[in-house]
Amino acid sequence: MYTYDTVTDVVSGNWHLLEASAPELQVPLHRMDVRLSAGDGRVRGAILNRNTGEERLLASVAFDGSTLRLQMIAPPATRQSEMPWLVMSAVGPRFEGHWRNEDGETVGPKLKLDRAVES
């Protein structure tokens, strides 16, 4: 497992959320894009609309140097505590992990966050 200095902005930038089995060099159209920014001792994040570039803020983002945790804002009629957390560990230049429900149980397939390549 990798550990990063939380003072640095190692997490800042655009990322692709993909199934862990997705090929390295072929970014599928079916994915979620995430923008993270670190500064002032905090990490902030948003889900990006790939068509418009519009950002939907995340409810919570935390990075302790080795584990990244993200939570989306709950839709109307859903309690925020019912929203799953994306819990990912630093593995080399990426993060790998799963969505976890409020009981900490794994939900869905293993995922990875790969840094988006700027073109």
Q: Which pLDDT tens digit goes with each residue over 22-69?
A: 887 777 776 789 999 888 878 899 999 877 888 999 999 999 888 999
Average pLDDT score, the chain: 86
Residue 102 lies in a domain: yes
Model confidence band, residue 94 (pLDDT cutoffs 50, 70, 90): very high
Q: Which two tokens stand for residue 19?
A: 């199934």
How far apart are the C-alpha atoms of 47 and 75, rounded to whole Å? 14
What CATH number does residue 73 fall under? Answer: 2.40.128
In a domain, 81, yes or no: yes
In a domain, 5, yes or no: no
Q: Which domain holds residue 105?
A: 13-23+30-115
φ, ψ for residue 21, nearest 5 deg: -85, -5
Distance CA 74, CA 13 (A): 24
Who has greater pLDDT, 40 or 76?
Answer: 76
Q: What is the mean pLDDT of residues 7-26?
A: 81
Specify the pTM. Answer: 0.85
